[in-house]
Amino acid sequence: MKRNRLGNSELYVSEIGLGCMSLGREKDKAMTLIHEALDNGINFLDTADLYDEGLNEEIIGQAIRGRRSDVIIGTKVGNRWEPGKEGWSWDPSKSYIKSAVKDSLRRLQTDYIDLYQLHGGTLDDKLSETIEAFEELKQEGLIRYYGISSIRPNVIREYAEQSNMVSVMSQYSILDRRPEEQVLPLLAQKGISLIARGPVAKGILTSAGAMKADKGYLGYGKYELTALHTSLLEGIDPLRDIAHTAIRYALADPTVATVIPGASSMEQLRHNIAASHASELTTEELKSIRRISQANRYEQHR
Q: What is the pLDDT of residues 261-275, one digit of tens each?
A: 999 999 999 999 999
* Sequence-separated (6 or more) residues with CB below 8 Å from residue 20: 30, 34, 45, 46, 47, 51, 56, 59, 60, 262
Q: Are 49 and 18 in contact (CB under 8 A)?
A: no
Question: CATH number for the domain including 123?
Answer: 3.20.20.100
> What residues pair up with 73 in beta bridges, in sequence order?
45
With respect to residue 44, please indicate whether it lies within any of the assigned structural domains: yes
Cα 166 from Cα 198, distance rounded (Å): 20
Cα 117 from Cα 44, distance rounded (Å): 14
Residue 53 has pLDDT above 90, yes or no: no
> What residues pair up with 49 in beta bridges, in sequence order?
none
Q: What is the pLDDT of residues 145-166, one digit of tens each?
A: 999 999 999 999 999 999 999 9
Residue 207 has pLDDT above 80, yes or no: yes
- Structural domain for 49, as ranges: 3-201+250-280
Q: Is 112 known to be catalytic?
A: no
Cα 51 from Cα 275, distance rounded (Å): 26
With respect to residue 26, please indicate whether it lies within any of the assigned structural domains: yes
Number of domains forming the structure of the chain? 1
Q: Which of 12, 51, 217, 220 is catalytic?
A: 51
* Sequence-separated (6 or more) residues with CB below 8 Å from residue 68: 110
In the DSSP assignment, the letter for residue 216 is -
Residue 107 has pLDDT above 90, yes or no: yes
**pLDDT given at position 32:** 97
With respect to residue 300, please indicate whether it lies within any of the assigned structural domains: no
With respect to residue 285, please indicate whether it lies within any of the assigned structural domains: no
